[in-house]
Amino acid sequence: MTKNNKNQNCQYMTRRIGSTTYKVKVVFSDNGGETMEEKILRMIRNEGLQNGEERGMMDAPQMSRQSERSAS
């Protein structure tokens, strides 16, 4: 569910996950210089740089049964 606010450049989104309802306010800038894709990529890069030493290699998930795509 989204709702536009005519007084500001913002939008509200409401999502229910389980028994918790989240209301998120997204604010838009008229004079922003980067696209949404550029912003997301920049945020991912910056988070990786900030937390780089804390992160490790992800191990392969442990499967209790053979994958459906595996040859039988």
Contact between 9 and 27 (Cβ < 8 Å): yes
Percent of the chain exceeding pLDDT 70 equals 57
Condensed to tens digits (0 to 9), the pLDDT of residues 22-50 reads 999 988 788 888 888 898 888 888 886 66
SS3 label, residue 23: strand
Supply the pTM of this predicted model: 0.36
Domain ranges for the chain: 2-49
CA distance 5 to 12: 8
